[in-house]
């Protein structure tokens, strides 16, 4: 893929007018509505495509830390909605603590083209993640590196991949995703939000019946908390670009999710 070309989903398919739907966008504190819309249009389809291998082949990334059962191994004993909601709340508390910090720091390092810092954060994750979370993070990072291999003019992402392939860095998902997000010109808010969405989508597949997607308010609230911004620091752009209030409220971890 040439990064001078439009970044759209493969095939360029478009739906009929009746298929149009409203979307909710995340914008950084200093980002205009126009920039946020461009960011979404350029990145959203490609993010979904980039994560397709992870969605198809993994049961989770860091959410394995709460020991979600493998649905293929326990077909008669799926996790309940109440149990998943409680485990998700525990996970988001970890994410708001030390777990989520490396993703933010990696995005900052990618923005500064600081490869040594990315390697430092990679080593930190390798030392702190345990068990399934350690394996899941490495596997997801490897899949994301593979999915971006064909892109041209990769800069920092390409240099990071070369080091990882030589065994010089573990290749954890947060680090790869931060570098890939920088390559695709995604904002920090989008990088965090798409990770949260991916982790949730993987988790709800363990339920015996389909669950609602995680609400935009839940994603925005948790993203805002991870960015250490006040409630107004992250804006939800709704219909005609108006600001949706309450995006940074507490208690957003399961709102609009399991149920």
CA angle 14, 18, 19 (to 5 degrees): 50
Does residue 219 sit within a domain?
Answer: yes
**C-alpha 224, offset from chain centre:** 14
User: Which distant-in-sequence residues (6+ apart) come within 8 Å of 187 by Cβ?
Assistant: 26, 27, 28, 31, 36, 39
What is the three-state SS of 150-208?
Answer: CCCCCCHHHHHHHHHHCCCCCCCHHHHHHHHHHHCCCCHHHHHHHHHHHHHHHHHCCCC
Looking up residue 52, the CATH number of its domain turns out to be: 1.10.4190
Kindly state whether residue 258 falls inside one of the protein's structural domains.
no
Question: How many domains, the chain?
Answer: 1
Q: Residue 6 domain-assigned?
A: no
The verdict on pTM exceeding 0.75 is no
Residue 84 lies in a domain: yes
Supply the pLDDT for residue 213.
82
Residue 249 lies in a domain: no
The answer to the question of residue 233 being in a domain is yes
DSSP 3-state of 13: coil
Structural domain including 191 reads 23-63+78-244
Q: What pLDDT is stored for residue 175 in this prediction?
A: 98
Q: Is residue 8 part of a domain?
A: no
Residue 180 lies in a domain: yes
- Kindly provide the b/e burial profile for residues 149-164, where b requires at least 16 CB atoms within 10 angstroms of the residue's own CB: eebeebebbbebbebb
Bridge-based pairing of strands 235-237 and 243-244 is antiparallel
Please give the chain's pLDDT, 259 residues, in tens: 333 333 333 333 334 444 444 555 666 667 776 676 566 555 466 787 889 999 989 989 998 534 555 555 544 446 788 888 888 999 999 999 889 999 999 999 999 999 999 999 999 999 999 989 999 999 999 999 998 888 788 899 999 999 999 999 999 999 999 999 999 888 888 899 999 999 998 988 878 777 788 888 888 889 888 886 433 344 555 544 444 443 333 333 334 455 5
pLDDT at 24: 58
pLDDT at residue 105, rounded to an integer? 93
The predicted structure's pLDDT at residue 157: 95
């Amino acid at each position: 893929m040439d990064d001078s070309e439009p970044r759209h989903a493969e095939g360029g398919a478009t739906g009929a007018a009746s298929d149009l739907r409203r979307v909710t966008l995340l914008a950084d504190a200093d980002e205009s509505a126009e920039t946020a819309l461009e960011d979404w249009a350029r990145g959203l389809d490609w993010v979904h495509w980039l994560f397709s291998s992870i969605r198809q082949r993994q049961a989770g990334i860091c959410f394995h830390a709460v020991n979600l059962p493998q649905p293929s191994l326990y077909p008669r004993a799926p996790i309940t909605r109440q149990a998943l909601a409680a485990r998700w709340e525990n996970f988001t508390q970890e994410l708001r603590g030390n777990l989520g910090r490396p993703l933010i720091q990696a995005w900052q390092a990618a923005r500064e083209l600081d490869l040594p810092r990315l390697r430092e954060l990679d080593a930190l994750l390798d030392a702190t993640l345990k068990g399934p979370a350690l394996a899941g993070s490495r596997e997801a990072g490897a899949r994301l590196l593979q999915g971006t291999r064909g892109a041209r003019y990769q800069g920092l992402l390409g240099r990071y991949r070369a080091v990882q392939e030589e065994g010089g860095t573990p290749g954890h998902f947060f680090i790869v995703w931060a570098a890939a997000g920088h390559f695709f010109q995604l904002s920090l808010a989008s990088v965090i939000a798409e990770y949260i969405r991916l982790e949730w989508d993987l988790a709800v597949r363990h339920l015996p019946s389909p669950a609602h997607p995680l609400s935009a308010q839940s994603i925005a609230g948790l993203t805002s908390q991870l960015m250490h911004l006040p409630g107004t620091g992250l804006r939800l752009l709704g219909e005609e670009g108006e600001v949706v209030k309450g995006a940074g409220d507490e208690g957003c971890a399961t709102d609009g999710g399991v149920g």
